[in-house]
Amino acid sequence: MKCYRLTLSSLCVVALSLLITACGGGALSNTGNGGGGNSNSNLKVTTSSMNTGTVGTAYTASLQATGGTAPYTWSLKSGALPAGLSVSADGTVSGTPTAAGTAGSLVFQVTDAGNNSASSGSLSLKVNSAVQVTTASLPSATQGAAYTSSLTATGGSGTYTWTLKSGNLPAGLSLNASTGEISGKPTAANIVSGLVFQATDTNTATGVSASLTLQVYNTLGCSSGAESNLGTQSYAFLIKGFEPSTGNLAPVTVIGSFTTDGKGGITAGEEDINSSGGAQSALAIIPTSSYSLGSDNNGCLLLTTSAGTTNLHFSVSTPNGSKVFTQGHVMLDNSSGTAARGAGILRLQDSSTFAAGLTGMYAFLFVGTDSYNGNFGMAGSFTAASGNFTNVAFDADDAGTLATGVTGGTGTYTTPDANGRGTTFITASGNTYNLNSVYYVVNSTEALFASTDAIASNPISSGRALATNSAQFTTAYLNGNYVGHATGLTTGDVPQVIVITANFDGTNSGTGTVIEDQGGNVTHWPASDFYAVDAATGRITFTGSFIAPVGYLVTGYNGVSVVLVSNDYPATTGILVPQPTDSTPASGTYSFGTDVDADFLTANQVGTFNLNAANFSGTESLSNPVTPFLVQNQNVSSTSSIGTDGTGSFWANHAVSSGSVIYFIDERAGTNTHPAIIEVTK
């Protein structure tokens, strides 16, 4: 029998060999969690997911691990981080993502101080698109009426938290931070600009809106929804009015041009203002200006310059054959009762004529107010070529102070800019008369003018220059039937307005009728006169009982035949338009507006009528000198009774018609002591 002696060490070896054999044999692994070099088996990456990032927003995430011996060193073992991000040795993934998307199959490795390592599972990192506030405009509100408008945004992750980053909402409105809804009842009419809203997502990524404007109207608000009907075109406008004053005769003119984007925005423009306080010239219209237009052809304009905001209502006439609106009426808003009031015209501009500027012969008519509260009128003609005026002729009436039959004047003008704007200077040395103006080209046959002189040196005036041609300056041109209108201001601030019918024989004589409303007192009389025409200037002299002793022929502009100026204290001015044999107004849509304000107390109106035979209905907005200062989108309907001779009544007022244009006196059954001519244009 043999005996064996086993030592303790040999027993351990035997035991270890048996253990290895029982486990399937092979060598002992050095790999820790996820594999790696010589690691301790308790080193482990605990990060199992990555936070979401946002394009353009700083991103930070810290990778985590347990076990092993600190400090840890991290690296990206496989995969590619989103552009703009990197991982540092301390396990911080950071940077600013530059593109949206998801980076997958990311494996991070950690190595401890003992060179033991471990790897994460396969991770993904999502980058959302940037947070963008998509609200580009705010709908207008109405004073005292419930208002709701929700801000919108895209990008980011989770829900948004909304804040007003700059500006102040109109009183009565508030912003819901959770929903982005602006709601409440505005308590006062106002125009609030500079509103910037911020959206913050769950990951604190932010986006901000453009600077927005919110307008609060005091009654029914503005028509909207048909902004595309104005297209991407430029429009010129001219307004004559008055600022609040003790005597109600502090004049103001507003003239300019704006370009629409077809979506409710204004992309370019320019504005000139002249008042008793001085001229403000070449004011750029800020592109944040806006407009609205409804399917009823009524709309609102918000024109902002460095001098402030001009707030207007307007209406446009029936589009032409090319479905383009060519003319309309415009009115200054005065919702507070403390702003300027006035009315005027709107014209589609033909920008292709800007380069040529003023070219050829024009007849012109300017109206205004002097520093002594006197009414002013001026009619004449000039020839324009290569930046120079020649053959300037005119007659002027400054509240009875006359400049009669002035000829030989000269002057200069500048080439129009991109908005059709230029400046002019006219002088008549023999009459010691000088006039500085700004003008805006409408097209090759029309330009709008407004004086820029201080009221101390010249009346503040404005008007139109219309193409004419001396080859037609004979009595034969004035032949047939005409209708017209005129406005003046008598002693004591009493407006005088007139509608006219006339027939001229083409030789030397004419007859007609005159209806005059002087401060609410309406009178009629027959007109009978003789006339003669100056072949060089187109000046017409009338003798007899016609409304004005002087006119100037307009032979190159469709729709106007004569501009008129009187020689009395009212300084009455007006126009004559040709009248066809049948002057019954045709059915259709008409734009209407106050023609010329005689003083601050003249009520202004603008709107549209749908005329069908003897009946019409429509929508109008009113600017009143007393409360309610502004009435918007008021429905109106009444009757029209105008015969084939173009005379009769409209809206129960005395009226004359050329078939496509109606002029009626705003009489209000004799109660209107500050009447005006209302022009209704098809």
Question: Residue 573 has what DSSP assignment?
Answer: E
> What homologous superfamily does CATH list for 50-128?
Immunoglobulins (2.60.40.10)
**Which of the given ranges, 18-22, 188-192, 205-209, 233-237, has the highest pLDDT on average?**
233-237
18 φ, ψ to 5°?
-65, -35
pLDDT in the model for residue 476: 97
pLDDT in tens, 623-643: 999 888 988 888 788 889 998
Of 389, 369, 370, 371, residue with least CA distance to 380: 389
Q: Please say whether the beta carbons of 168 and 192 come within 8 A.
A: yes
pLDDT in the model for residue 503: 96
Overall average pLDDT of the 585-599 stretch = 92
Overall average pLDDT of the 509-526 stretch = 94
The residue among 587 and 172 whose pLDDT is bigger is 172
* HEC assignment per residue over 473-528: CCHHHCEEEEEEEEEEEECCCEEEEEEEEEEEECCCEEEEEEEEEECCEEEEEEEE
pLDDT in the model for residue 190: 66
Overall average pLDDT of the 31-55 stretch = 71
CATH number of 132-217: 2.60.40.10
The helix (H) or strand (E) run that includes residue 16 is: helix 8-22
Question: Residue 586 has what DSSP assignment?
Answer: P
Least confident of 82-86, 344-348, 405-409, 426-430: 426-430
pLDDT in the model for residue 26: 33
Of 176, 200, 36, 63, residue with least CA distance to 119: 36
Alpha-carbon distance of 306 to 373, in angstroms, equals 29
Least confident of 53-57, 80-84, 271-275: 53-57
Least confident of 5-14, 202-211, 459-468, 509-518: 5-14
Q: Is residue 37 pLDDT above 60, yes or no?
A: no
Distances (CA, A) of 39 to 78, 266, 302, 522: 19, 69, 73, 110
Distances (CA, A) of 56 to 49, 98, 99, 129: 21, 6, 8, 8
Q: Is residue 31 pLDDT above 60, yes or no?
A: no
Gyration radius of the chain over CA positions: 39
Overall average pLDDT of the 522-531 stretch = 93
Alpha-carbon distance of 413 to 425, in angstroms, equals 6
pLDDT in the model for residue 218: 52
pTM: 0.71
Alpha-carbon distance of 129 to 313, in angstroms, equals 41
Length of the chain equals 682
Average pLDDT, the chain: 89
Q: Please say whether the beta carbons of 405 and 539 come within 8 A.
A: yes
Overall average pLDDT of the 118-142 stretch = 89
Alpha-carbon distance of 324 to 316, in angstroms, equals 10
Of 147, 148, 331, residue with least CA distance to 237: 331
Residues of the chain with CATH 2.60.40.10: 50-128, 132-217
pLDDT in tens, 380-401: 999 999 999 999 999 999 999 9
CB atoms within 10 A of CB 323: 8
pLDDT in the model for residue 612: 80
Alpha-carbon distance of 163 to 201, in angstroms, equals 12
pLDDT in the model for residue 399: 96
Distances (CA, A) of 135 to 106, 138, 261, 293, 582: 37, 8, 17, 20, 53
% pLDDT > 70, the chain:
93
Question: Residue 137 has what DSSP assignment?
Answer: -
pLDDT band at 98 (very low <50, low <70, confident <90, very high): very high
Burial of 146 (0-12, 13-18, 19+ CB in 10 A): exposed
Overall average pLDDT of the 507-526 stretch = 95
**Cα distance between the two ends of the chain:** 137
% pLDDT > 90, the chain:
72
Q: Please say whether the beta carbons of 166 and 194 come within 8 A.
A: yes
What is the separation of C-alpha 524 from the centre of its chain, rounded to a whole number of angstroms?
43
Interstrand relation of 53-54 and 123-128 (parallel, antiparallel or unpaired): parallel
pLDDT in the model for residue 470: 97
Alpha-carbon distance of 440 to 675, in angstroms, equals 29
Overall average pLDDT of the 19-31 stretch = 33
pLDDT in the model for residue 283: 98
17 φ, ψ to 5°?
-65, -40
Interstrand relation of 375-385 and 360-369 (parallel, antiparallel or unpaired): antiparallel
Q: Is residue 58 pLDDT above 80, yes or no?
A: yes
Give the ranges where 23-141 is alpha helix by DSSP (H).
none
DSSP-based three-state secondary structure for 28: coil
pLDDT in tens, 444-485: 999 999 999 999 999 999 999 999 999 999 999 999 999 999
pLDDT in the model for residue 14: 34
Q: Under 8 Å CB-to-CB from 401, ≥6 apart: which residues?
A: 374
Alpha-carbon distance of 556 to 325, in angstroms, equals 21
Least confident of 2-11, 149-158, 490-499: 2-11
CB atoms within 10 A of CB 291: 23
Overall average pLDDT of the 650-663 stretch = 94
Overall average pLDDT of the 183-187 stretch = 92
pLDDT in tens, 280-336: 999 999 988 999 998 888 999 999 999 998 999 999 987 877 778 899 999 998 887
Of 575, 408, 616, 409, residue with least CA distance to 486: 575
Q: Please say whether the beta carbons of 390 and 407 come within 8 A.
A: no
User: Per the omega criterion (within 30 degrees of 0), is the bond before 585 cis?
Assistant: no
Of 148, 179, 149, 147, residue with least CA distance to 163: 179
Overall average pLDDT of the 561-586 stretch = 94
pLDDT band at 5 (very low <50, low <70, confident <90, very high): very low
